[in-house]
A and B are shown apart, each in its own frame.
Chain A
Amino acid sequence: MAKPDHLHFFIDPNRCIGCQACVQACTECDTHRGESMIHLEYVERARSVQTVPVVCMHCEQPTCAEVCPADAIKRTGDGVVQSARKPRCIACGNCVVACPFGVPELYNDRQIMMKCDMCYDRTTAGRKPMCATVCPSQALFFGTREQIEQLRPLSVPVNRFQFGHQVISTRVFTMMPREVARRQPWLDVTAAMDERPPERAVMLRVLPSTPEATADVGDPYAEVLI
Chain B
Amino acid sequence: MATQVSRRTAAAAADDRTMATLPADDRAITARFGPHRSVMTGVRLSTSVEPERLVKTHCCFCGQQCGLQLKVRDNQVIGFEPWEEFPFNRGMLCPKGVKRYLQGAHPDRLTTALRRDPAAPHGFSPMKYEEAIATVAGEIDRIQRTYGPPAVALLGGASLTTEKTYLLGKFARVCLRTPHIDYNGRLCMVSAGAANKKAFGIDRTTNPWSDMVGTDVIWVAGSNVAECSPITTNYLWQAREQGARIIIQDPRITPAARTCDLYLPIRPGRDAALFAGVLQLMIEHDWLDHAFIEQSTVGFDQLASYCRQWTPARTAEVTGVPERSIRQAAEWWGTAKASFLFHARGIEHHSNGVQNALGTINLVLASGRIGKPKCGYGTIVGQANGQGGREHGQKADQLPGWRDITNPDHRRYIAGVWGIDEKDLPGPGVDAYELFRKIDAGEIKALLTICFNPKVSLPDSTFVARCLEKLEFYTAIDFFLNDTARHADVVLPGSLHEEDEGTVTQVECRVIKINKAVDCPGDARQDWRIIQDIARALGRERGFTFASPREIFDELRAASKGGVADYSGITYEKIERRMGVFWPCYSEDPETGRPIDHPGTPRLFERGSYNPVARGTGPFYFPDGKARFNVAEYRPPVDDADGEYPLYLTTGRVVSQFLSGTQTRRIGPLVEQYPEPRIEMHPRLAARLGIADDDWAVVETRRGAITLRAMVVTTIRPDTVFVPYHWPGEKSVNRVTVAAQDPISKIPQYKVCGCRVRKAGGPPAYAAILEPQQ
Contact = CB atoms under 8 A, between A and B. Distances in A.
B3 interface: no
Main secondary structure of the interface of A (DSSP, over half): loop
Interface string A20-55: 110111011011111000000000011111110000
Top 7 closest A-B pairs, CB basis? A17-B226, A17-B255, A136-B230, A203-B322, A210-B646, A24-B95, A137-B233
B230 A206 contact: no
Nearest to A50: B258
16 contacts: A17-B227, A17-B233, A18-B226, A19-B95, A19-B656, A21-B92, A27-B669, A33-B44, A50-B258, A136-B234, A206-B718, A206-B719, A207-B646, A209-B643, A213-B688, A224-B718
A8 interface: no
A189 to B, nearest CB: 21
A44 B255 CA distance: 13
Contacts of A199: 714
A203 B320 CA distance: 9
Nearest to A29: B47
Interface stretch (A74-82, A93-101, A148-156, A161-169): A148-156
Contact of A46 (B265, B684, B714): B714
B682 interface: yes
A159 interface: no
Contacts of A18: 226, 255, 655
A33 B49 CA distance: 11
Interface of A: 14-21, 23-25, 27-28, 30-34, 45-51, 128, 130, 133-138, 151-154, 199-200, 202-210, 213, 216, 221, 224-226
B259 interface: yes
Given A18-B226, A134-B91, 10 more contacts: A19-B227, A20-B656, A20-B673, A24-B669, A49-B254, A152-B241, A202-B263, A205-B316, A213-B646, A224-B682
Contacts of A19: 94-95, 226-227, 230, 255, 655-656
A15 B237 contact: yes
Interface in B639-693: 640-643, 646-647, 655-656, 669-670, 673, 682-684, 688, 693
Given A19-B227, A20-B655, A48 B717 contact: no
A216 B79 CA distance: 55
Given A20-B95, A47-B714, A49-B253, A209 B259 contact: no
B255 A210 contact: no
A204 B323 CA distance: 10
B247 interface: no
A200 B265 CA distance: 10
Given A25-B98, A137-B230, A138-B234, A226 B642 contact: no
Contact of B641 (A46, A154, A209): A209
Which residue among A34, A135, A209 has the maximum number of chain B CB atoms within 10 Å of its CB? Answer: A209
A48 B40 CA distance: 32
B712 interface: yes
Given A18-B255, A25-B98, A207-B718, A33 B40 contact: yes
B718 A137 contact: no
Contacts of A14: 259
A33 B47 contact: yes
A49 to B, nearest CB: 5
Contact of A49 (B94, B263, B715): B715
A134 B646 contact: no
Contacts of A152: 241
B682 A213 contact: no
Contacts of A30: 47
Interface string B321-336: 0101100000000000
A169 to B, nearest CB: 26
Contacts of B238: 138, 151
Contact of A209 (B95, B99, B231, B642): B642
Contacts of A209: 640-643, 646
A17 B682 CA distance: 20
